[in-house]
Amino acid sequence: MKLKSEFSIMADEMKDCRKMEQMSIVLRYFLHGSVFESFIGFVHATDLTASGLCSELVSVLQRLGLDYKAKLVGQGYDGASVMSGKNAGVGKLLKNEASLYLCALYVHCHAHRLNLALVDCMKVVSQAAEFFVFLEHLYVFVSYVHAKWVQIQRDMYPGESVRELQRLCDTRWACRYAACKAVSSRLPAVVRLLSDIKGGENAKRAVEARALLGSVDCHLVIMLCFMSDILGKTQSLSLFLQSATIDFSSVADSIHAVCADLTELRSNDDKFNALYTEAVNLCEASGWHRDQF
């Protein structure tokens, strides 16, 4: 692989199905007026120290015949200390290797930084943290009564596909948006499921259903509409940050636009009133009356 232009390297480590550590490597470069990203392959990582991973990256670049000392201008990894450590991380070690023009700048993956920011923000807001705990418990409960969940949807939404609830994961924040949308689109079915099971013969499931149904109040529905709106904005940004064709200017503009939207939502009464109306309509669709608000 011969490149005359400067290039950046991106890498991430993970375990394969055999529980063996693998490092995926991608090159990003400019060619014939366009930006390209090429997946180089997986490298079996036997040494997971910063020096070991750096040696693997250098070996791959040398094998490809790339002049990394003169043309490596950027590095993109996650924020793990072994990769991002400013004194002895992979980013620092590889920069020392490619020190001809003091390039090879390390950049923490912006999509991952967004994910971490959302995780930390939600954990310190008690209402948000409790809301997502509810979604996780609801997912686990429905997994035990999945056949009834499917049947209720077929009865209530004939001709429509069955919607599955989503499990939550800190490292894949996008699943929270999918989880909110799934519950929002099937909230009447969730209420019916819990109402049917709370009076059933299975004592354990009946107690769990009553506890979950008791949590499904107007406050939770407002949080559901609010989180769907918030996470919809950040989800769009996250997907954009993962595009292979974006540039730094587009990223900056998109981040500023989302920040402006969130600021307006915080201070604009019309925005909140629209979410409130959406929550009221969702409650009425689920069999509740407006005066409960």
pLDDT tens across 68-88, in order?
A: 888 888 888 888 888 888 888
Query: What pLDDT is recorded for position 154?
Result: 95
Give which of 240, 196, 226 is closest to 132, Cα–Cα.
226
Q: Which of 37-41, 93-97, 144-148, 200-204 has the highest mean pLDDT?
A: 144-148
CA distance 129 to 228: 15
Give which of 32, 38, 28, 37 is closest to 105, Cα–Cα.
28
CA distances to 89, 197, 215 from 72, rounded to whole Å, are: 17, 61, 54
- pTM score, whole prediction: 0.74
pLDDT tens across 237-288, in order?
A: 888 888 877 777 888 899 999 999 888 888 888 888 888 888 888 888 776 6
pLDDT tens across 154-172, in order?
A: 999 998 999 999 988 876 7
Q: Which residues make up the CATH 3.30.420 domain(s) of the chain?
A: 7-108
The reply to whether CATH 3.40.50 applies to domain 7-108 is no
